[in-house]
Amino acid sequence: EIVLTQLPGTLSLSPGERATLSCRASQSVRSSYLAWYQQKHGQAPRLLVYGASSRATDIPDRFSGSGSGTDFTLTISRLEPEDFAVYYCQQYGNTPPLTFGQGTKVEIK
């Protein structure tokens, strides 16, 4: 089973700043099959990125994903007020099981 570790646990930033979220896998993720989701309080998760770097439908271009192997990054170029939320990475290259990281909370500084 691939374990995903997300760092940092909490990121305190101001609107307009750049956010860099890390997701590290315990072993190489096949074909960069890694996705990112955003979850706002009291809501279901929303797909942001799949295949490590492909944005999902209707996702603003301030969200970008990168990485391969064991190290992946989600970058939010300029934080908007609606971007403050919890972000999860998920691997689907070595399944079952599907695994999620423990999440990174992006909070307002």
Rounded CA separation 12/6 (Å)? 15
Q: Residue 17 or 93: which CB sits closer to another protein?
A: 93
Single out the segment in contact with another protein by CB under 8 A; choices: 18-26, 62-70, 71-79, 85-93: 85-93
Rounded CA separation 61/44 (Å)? 21
Residue 35 in contact with another protein, rule: CB under 8 A = yes
Query: Quick check: helix, strand or coil at residue 57?
Result: coil
**Residues in region 2-31 near another protein by CB under 8 A:** none
Residue 95 in contact with another protein, rule: CB under 8 A = yes
Looking only at the bridges linking them, the beta strands covering 104-108 and 10-13 are parallel
Q: Which residues make Cβ contacts (< 8 Å) with residue 4, sequence separation at least 6?
A: 23, 24, 25, 26, 89, 90, 91, 99, 100, 101, 102
Residue 55 in contact with another protein, rule: CB under 8 A = no
# residues contacting another protein (CB under 8 A) = 24
Single out the segment in contact with another protein by CB under 8 A; choices: 13-21, 32-40, 64-72, 75-83: 32-40
Residues lying near another protein in the complex (CB under 8 A) are found at 33, 35, 37, 39, 43-47, 50, 56-57, 88, 90, 92, 95-103
